[in-house]
A and B are shown apart, each in its own frame.
Chain A
Amino acid sequence: MLLLGLTLLLTAAAAADLPDTGAPPLLGPGLGFSPSVSASASAPPLLLLPQPRPEYGAPGVALARSAAEEPAVPAEEEEGPHHHHGGGYRVVQWEWSYVQTPYIIAIWLLVASVAKILFHFSQRFTTVVPESCMLILLGLVLGGVVLIANKKQLYQLEPALFFLFLLPTIVGDAGYFMPARLFFDNLGAILTYAVVGTLWNAFCTGFCLYAAKLLGVIDERVQADLMDFLLFGALISAVDPVAVLAVFEEVHVNDTLFIIVFGESLVNDAVTVVLYKVYISFVEVGVENVQTADYFKGVASFLIVSIGGTLVGLVFAVILGFITRFTKKVRIIEPLFVFLMVYLAYLTAELFSLSAILSMTFCGIGANKYVEANISQKSRTTVKYTMKTLASIAETIIFIFLGISAVDKSKWAWDTGLVSCTLVFIFVFRAAGVIGQTWVLNRFRLVPLDKIDQVVMSYGGLRGAVAFALVVLLDGEQVKAKDYFVATTIVVVFFTVMFQGLTIKPLVDWLKVPRSTSRKPTINEEIHERAFDHILTAVEDIAGLQGYHHWRDKWEQFDKNYLSKLLLRKSVYRKSELWEAYQKINIRDAISVIDQGGNVLTSARLSLPSMASRASFPEVTNVTNYLRENGSGVCLDLQVIDNVPGAKVEEDTETHHVLAENLYKPRRRYQSHYSRHFMPLGEKERQDREVFQRNMKSRMETFKSTRHKRHKKERSLKKRRGSDAKEDGSDKPRRNVSWQDKNPVVVPVESEEEKGEHSDPEKEEDVGITFVARKAETPKQRPKSVPAALDGSPLASPSSPPSGDSHLPWKGSVGSPPPCVSVEANKIIPVDLQQAWNQSISSLESISSPPVPAEPVHPRVSALSRLGGPRPASYTPPGSTAGSTSSIGAQVLQGPFCFPERNKKEEEEEEEEGGAVQEMQPLMSSLRPPGSLMPPPAPPPPGSAPGQAGGGNPCVYLRSLVMAPSPGSGEPHSRGPTQL
């Protein structure tokens, strides 16, 4: 429906355009949507903005103008009858011509965006068909509609629009988020493929087409000589960054492969630009007039264009870094500087006819490090999202317009010979070029590119909008066969984007190309990578080599000594990059904890490659990083298995794993539902919640490590000392839960109970297996856990404002560092000092746990309510023997189960718990007393007979859990989905 409506609107707009075609310069819709009549500009039309019409010079005066001036504009008269309703004041007026340009643009953007939405309705479909294909098809349809409505194609991909607006957004995004290290590590290969490969392709394609023409394969009507074919070869041979990005993003090949193909597509711009310009000038002056010197000029021009473009980019990068150093007071416009400078780099390069893509790419790469360090976290997010949005929409428009442009009878000068020859040649030469160059490169590469890589690289040589825009720019006067070339280019682009784009994924699957290893870069890797760099540099130096590491080390020295001092804020540059990395990782952890619930859609579809498109991700820093990010959810599985220590692998680990898997899904959905409801809440609540989750997390962690230690102890007494220390430490955080608890009687029960409940939803299913496996251990554990809980509680009361020391145990636990950064993530306070974050934590903590101080008498209430209320109410009271045994059982169950799941599980868990508390706190505190006084009618089995529960009757237990909350009206609502 919506699409239909849009189409109608579109045709209406097109129809309204119709009268304009008579006077293109005056009424042209501007911004590249001009009628195709004016399309064949020989020089890049730099004037894109709608020529300001004198009458409308001041748009602000629309109202005043509408009353009086309207009839005075003669050009408006053919706009329709609306203006001639009669004299006098008109209440409603038709002001189409006034809003026309922005209106059409907005409509197009809307169409593009809605199209994207529609494609992603069907998940199965989008995994098979790349988005770019669908967009081109949509463009074909829309073009058909416009054509039928108008008998004439009004829209096409305007080169100026493309080169000045659409392409920069995509390149800017790619450059800014380019994984710099990966790029420079493979720079040699990238440059080789980009320069040698493109030249090879261009010449071979051009010459062979000419040969085919001489042989008569190409029709006589195609009036082209050698130069024309070389020109055509030059523009058709360049791999297109837009197409490569669009297709490869969905394929997820490994990073190296991706960066080589993508880097090539960016860098070859210089080659294409130079070849194109050189040939154009040759065609203009005529081949016979070309002198030998001109060829050398061509080579010189290549050097100037590429190096000059790079330099322009780097200069702008330095300026950008320098500017952002001083934006502390005006944070709000920080992102603007990024966009402006990167775009200016592009325009400046274009101004001097240097390689604009190179300029922009290097500006992005160069500035990224300094800008990211200088600007605030919010600005970073803004930059990221805006860039992704712009790039995504630009890409969409490019593909739609490619489709639309194809539907134009005037363009189709079809010659089967030319088309098929071109297709064959570009494919063959691409493959040959890749194989040849790889053979040479592999002699120098540490990690050689194997055959499969070469196949993918050959197959991934996609042509796209750049070629199309260039061919449209040709001057039909001088290049007689322009129409043939245009048609051929369209076919080539469609073939590569659609056919190869469609088949590359199956091909990659079939060849078992190593995919990008989706995992988070850990702080370990950061450190080791850096350490390895140093080590290798040292060894190279000892060996007296001046290798890659040597130069990188030199560069880093230079960067450290001069550049960073110049471009980074004082407060920032003091920090080493490692620290930055550490913080980033922590922030990301924190964000993922929150987002986990926030975007269920994203997480649910994480595994679907089609969701890889730039727009759809919260944590995308660049394409490859995205891939890594993506893995955090998907790879959970592996990590879980990985994390199980070899010595402790129990038979049932896998069973746990399977069970855990089964339990995940309902939970996740539940959370998201909850969170979606919750997200709109204000910043403060969010913060509180986060801090709360952090607390929970650290508690969970300490608990786990305690549990873990116990197992260890039982196994080997040797490590007793270390684990004891840790255990002592880890008790402290736990008291955060029960720290108000002054009643020693309750302590053991409560702490155990609490432990058991942390694993709440998983437990039911785990009961059977684990309990049996561990049953023998219960007596041993009992004495240990009690003292732990006991010596936690006396210390507890003074602990509310944690000092630096009392945080130590926290930090011993896994989840501890994140709190500081998660706080920072929200508050955007650079955490420079431990002290600082201690303070902030403590202050926030006091905010976050108001329920506890508010009800000092009922510490359990808060603890219990946090844990979901109804169950404790039902089975705590049995107390003395049965209760404790059962809770030990629970504890035993929980320990081994939770431990392997470290990362993800706990996040999920506390996500849920944190959420649950917030939601239920008021409810529970009022609800709890009756529950404790009068246990619900169905006392749960595990309480009365742990053996029974251990005997594998999780269902009963489960049912009791579900049924228990009958007194609390709010409970079933929130807990229900989780349990079932």
Chain B
Amino acid sequence: MGNKQTIFTAQQLFDRYRDLAPQLVPLDYTNHPDVKLPYELIGSMPELKDNPFRQRIAEVFSEDGEGNMTLDDFLDMFSVLSEMAPRDLKASYAFKIYDFNNDDFICKSDLEKTLNRLTRNELTEDEVRMVCEKVIDEADLDNDGRLSLEDFQHMIVRAPDFLSTFHIRI
């Protein structure tokens, strides 16, 4: 997979990006570099209807944090998830996805949100709390009751084939 294929992929991605909103994205992109796809467009894709993380992904990868994605953001997203991306980068983005309140720590409320999304709010509050405590407990190395990026990375390093699953083939 040489250079060639990467370019080709980028072209494909651009097509895809444009397909999402042909009326907004001009074909000749160079003249309008700051076009953004509003989150509503991405979030309303039928495939993503059930996905609990759609908003979060858009927010994390978009520069403005609102979920409105430029082409650069769009490409960034795929770079992070590509096979070539270093593990730390992946880990930091995964961490960001979990970090709902953007305070650089995964705290209990973040985890509760994650859990509720994963379980579609089927657990009771107590159950969620218990699981969250267990999670924090398992990974919290400095015992401050929340997970820092270091905690998170450490946990992921311990599970060798963990991040290896965190990429897609484009």
Contacts and interface: CB of A to CB of B under 8 A. Distances in A.
Whether A associates with B in a native complex is yes
Interface string B83-94: 100000000001
Contacts of B77: 539, 542
Contacts of A579: 119, 123, 127, 131
Contact of A535 (B16, B45, B53, B126): B53
A708 interface: yes
A523 interface: yes
Interface stretch (A495-503, A780-788, A808-816): A808-816
Interface in B47-76: 47-48, 50-54, 57
A446 B162 contact: no
Interface residues of B, number: 62
Interface string A528-550: 11111011111111111101011
Given A535-B53, A538-B57, A811 B135 contact: no
A723 to B, nearest CB: 8
Given A534-B118, A541-B47, A708 B161 contact: no
A529 B144 CA distance: 24
Nearest to B83: A446
B149 interface: no
B48 A541 contact: yes
Nearest to A523: B134
A529 B52 contact: no
Given A527-B114, A531-B98, A542 B48 contact: yes
B97 interface: yes
A528 B168 contact: no
A536 B47 CA distance: 12
User: Chain A binding site: helix, strand, loop or mixed by DSSP?
Assistant: helix
Contact of A541 (B51, B119, B169): B51
A708 B137 CA distance: 14
Interface in A412-469: 446-447
B57 A834 contact: no
Nearest to B167: A446
Nearest to B50: A557
B97 A542 contact: no
A543 B170 contact: yes
B159 A525 contact: yes
Contacts of B135: 523-524, 527
A966 interface: no
Contacts of B16: 543-544
B22 to A, nearest CB: 13
A371 B58 CA distance: 38
A222 to B, nearest CB: 48
A547 B145 contact: no
A447 B142 contact: no
A664 to B, nearest CB: 22
B154 A575 contact: no
A574 interface: yes
A626 B143 CA distance: 30
A643 B160 contact: no
A719 B144 contact: yes
A389 interface: no
Contact of A582 (B114, B134, B144, B150): B134
B97 A535 contact: yes
B158 interface: yes
Contact of A812 (B115, B133, B158): B133
B124 interface: yes
Nearest to B55: A538
A256 interface: yes
A686 to B, nearest CB: 24
Contacts of B115: 527, 578
A535 B57 contact: yes
Given A536-B166, A542-B45, A834 B124 contact: yes
B35 interface: no
B42 interface: yes
A557 B97 CA distance: 22
A817 B118 contact: no
B122 interface: yes
A642 B124 contact: no
B130 A834 contact: yes
Nearest to B136: A524
A643 B141 contact: yes
A647 interface: yes
Contacts of B122: 574-576
A530 B118 contact: yes
B88 to A, nearest CB: 16
A532 B94 CA distance: 8
A541 B57 CA distance: 12
A495 to B, nearest CB: 34
Given A447-B164, A536-B168, A705-B143, A541 B131 contact: no
B127 A834 contact: yes
Contacts of B165: 446, 529, 532, 536
A979 interface: no
A172 B165 CA distance: 29
Contacts of B104: none
A811 B78 contact: no
Nearest to B155: A524
Given A522-B138, A547-B168, A817 B51 contact: no
A850 interface: no
Given A574-B122, A578-B118, A579-B119, A542 B42 contact: yes
A875 B159 CA distance: 46
B133 A816 contact: yes
A539 B52 contact: no
A647 B47 contact: no
B53 A811 contact: no
A547 B156 CA distance: 24
B36 interface: no
B114 A531 contact: yes
B25 interface: no
B126 A543 contact: no
A708 B123 CA distance: 32
Contacts of A547: 168-169
Contacts of B118: 527, 530-531, 534, 576, 578
Task: From B115, B122, B134, B164, name the one whose CB has the most chain A CB atoms within 10 angstroms.
Answer: B134
B143 A645 contact: yes
A550 B143 CA distance: 37
A709 interface: yes
Contacts of A535: 53, 57, 94, 97, 166
A522 B16 CA distance: 38
Contacts of B168: 536, 539-540, 543, 545, 547, 549
A646 B141 contact: yes
A734 interface: no
Nearest to A899: B143
B158 to A, nearest CB: 6
Contact of A708 (B50, B143, B170): B143
Nearest to A514: B160
Contacts of B143: 645, 705, 708-709, 712
Interface of B: 13, 16, 19-20, 42, 45, 47-48, 50-54, 57, 77-78, 81, 83, 94, 97-98, 114-115, 117-120, 122-124, 126-127, 129-131, 133-135, 137-139, 141-145, 150, 154-156, 158-162, 164-170
Interface of A: 255-256, 446-447, 514, 517, 519, 522-525, 527-532, 534-545, 547, 549-550, 553, 557, 574-576, 578-579, 582, 585-586, 642-648, 705, 708-709, 712, 719, 722, 726, 811-812, 814, 816-817, 820, 833-835
Across the A-B interface, the 4 shortest Cβ-Cβ residue pairs? A834-B126, A541-B47, A576-B119, A645-B141
30 contacts: A517-B159, A519-B159, A523-B131, A523-B134, A523-B135, A524-B138, A524-B139, A524-B155, A525-B159, A527-B114, A527-B118, A527-B135, A529-B165, A531-B98, A531-B118, A536-B166, A538-B51, A539-B168, A540-B168, A542-B42, A543-B16, A549-B168, A575-B123, A576-B119, A579-B131, A582-B134, A645-B142, A817-B130, A817-B133, A834-B124
Given A816-B133, A834-B126, 11 more contacts: A524-B139, A535-B94, A536-B165, A536-B166, A541-B51, A542-B77, A578-B123, A582-B131, A585-B134, A645-B141, A817-B130
